[in-house]
A = this chain, B = another copy of it.
Amino acid sequence: MKNINASIITIGDELLIGQVIDTNSAWMAQQLNAIGVSVKRRVAVGDSKDEIINAIDEEGNLSDIILITGGLGPTSDDITKQVLCDYFKGKLVMNEEVLNNVKYLFEKVFKKPLSDVNLQQANVPDVCEVIQNKRGSAPGMIFYKADIIYISMPGVPYEMKGIMEKNVIPLLKEKFKLPVIIHRTMLTAGIGESALAEVISDFENELPKEIKLAYLPTHGMVRLRLSTIDFDKKQTKKNIDSYFNKLKILTKNYLVADADETIETVIGKLLKEKNKTVSTAESCTGGYIAHLITSVAGSSQYYKGSIISYANEIKTQLLGVHENTLSVHGAVSEETVIEMLNGLLNKLNTDYGIAVSGIMGPDGGTPEKPVGTVWMAVGNKKNNLTQKINLRFERERNIEVAASMALNFLRKFIIDN
């Protein structure tokens, strides 16, 4: 059985001038890996005929499956459909089913008048299999050429995901005899990439060559991933599991999760298990911790709410921080975060709480409290723990790292209390 490779081509000038971040490719790669398709390359090109053709040619030489997104919008800068039609030597013809879908979407879902431009979405190459797009007006298209399958999808993530899940993944599973790609990932915190490498260097040296180890740093934490490709599902799984268990023992002091999970998901599970609730009092993180917690579906079961106290008057009025504490110790101090935490727990009456106050930059730093200084407290009504961290990134990343460190601080407190 041969390895099945895929290439992902994303099309759009906006990708080359950096006006949008490509989130589609990562999602598509995850889906492909999950069914045993190896992603060989990802290429982004502009809305240019020559560049699109060049990319299709090149990737066709490398891969069995070419997934193409973008450039299918109704406006004239989008040329992917015409280029594909010419490349596969077809002509555009009106497709009744697409037409009905476009009409339906505009009448019933978007509730907007249907224009000529939208109607043109129903013209498709006569050399492709059409995939109906239930979430938008641009259909997906499948082309075949010399054993290679080319699938074009809209670049709108919500539409692309619908087509991938409903059509593309089932089609690929049916067309190809796929091997097993197994990844096992864990999340660690409190140790850097190189220090972690020292801790597990013997383990790494002894790994058989069919098992790969990767270090994936993320917001001040490191994910470790073991991966392997094989055709005998049962044996492979057993083999990688045994190495994964060894790795868990070696990293036990830093282990947050033994799956590819985020810290907010781990906390959600812990709280559900213990049937406890949490709230947050955020200053410098400005609601980002609350956002992470509530990005988990079902978080209303354990998350009650937050007080975002950006201004000092909100710290005193809503969280009961003493004016005196603020004037003597400052808003970014151990004393302030402890009072914020206690005020929060009283006011929102949750089992656990997090309080964070810091300076995220670029302005607001002082010699004693430079940009990146963050105090955090976690606790319940009986106990609390505090810590000071010093971050050295730009504003956006300081917020992200402070939030994930606060969540990990909370995670440890929940386990012990």
Which residues on B sit within 8 Å (CB–CB) of A225? 14, 19
- Whether B43 lies near A15 (C-beta < 8 A) is no
Which residues on B sit within 8 Å (CB–CB) of A212? 13, 77
Which residues on B sit within 8 Å (CB–CB) of A43? 41-44
How many residues on A have C-beta within 8 angstroms of the other chain's C-beta atoms?
113
Say which residue of B29, B31, B74 sits within 8 Å of A197 (CB atoms).
B74
Given contacts A74-B197, A297-B361, are A33 and B20 in contact (CB under 8 A)?
no
Give the most central of A293, A305, A314, A392: most B CB within 10 Å: A305
* Copies of this protein in the complex: 2
Given contacts A17-B33, A18-B25, A74-B193, are A397 and B310 in contact (CB under 8 A)?
no
- Whether B194 lies near A118 (C-beta < 8 A) is yes
* Distance of A223 Cα from B17 Cα, bound (Å): 14
- Whether A51 lies near B40 (C-beta < 8 A) is yes
Q: How far is the CB of A20 from chain B (nearest CB, A)?
A: 6
The interface-forming segment of A84-92, A123-131, A239-247, A283-291 is A283-291
* Distance of A95 Cα from B303 Cα, bound (Å): 52
Say which residue of B44, B218, B287, B349 sits within 8 Å of A25 (CB atoms).
B44
Say which residue of B41, B42, B303, B363 sits within 8 Å of A298 (CB atoms).
B363
Q: How far is the CB of A304 from chain B (nearest CB, A)?
A: 4
The interface-forming segment of A108-116, A168-176, A248-256 is A108-116
Given contacts A287-B308, A295-B396, A295-B399, are A216 and B23 in contact (CB under 8 A)?
no
Which residues on B sit within 8 Å (CB–CB) of A314? 304-305, 348
- Whether B347 lies near A318 (C-beta < 8 A) is yes
Please report whether the interface of chain A is mostly helix, strand, loop or mixed according to DSSP: mixed
Q: How far is the CB of A315 from chain B (nearest CB, A)?
A: 8
* Distance of A55 Cα from B394 Cα, bound (Å): 31
Interface hits, A26-77 → B, CB 8 Å: 26-31, 33, 38-47, 51, 55, 58, 73-77
- Whether B14 lies near A33 (C-beta < 8 A) is no
- Whether A300 lies near B310 (C-beta < 8 A) is yes
* Distance of A318 Cα from B348 Cα, bound (Å): 8
- Whether A40 lies near B21 (C-beta < 8 A) is no
Q: Does A395 contact B (CB under 8 A)?
A: yes
Q: Does A93 contact B (CB under 8 A)?
A: no
Q: Does A144 contact B (CB under 8 A)?
A: no
Q: How far is the CB of A231 from chain B (nearest CB, A)?
A: 19
- Whether A311 lies near B304 (C-beta < 8 A) is yes
Which residues on B sit within 8 Å (CB–CB) of A99? none
Q: Does A309 contact B (CB under 8 A)?
A: yes
Say which residue of B192, B217, B227 sits within 8 Å of A17 (CB atoms).
B227
The 7 closest A-B pairs by CB, nearest first: A286-B294, A287-B290, A287-B287, A18-B29, A18-B30, A306-B308, A305-B314
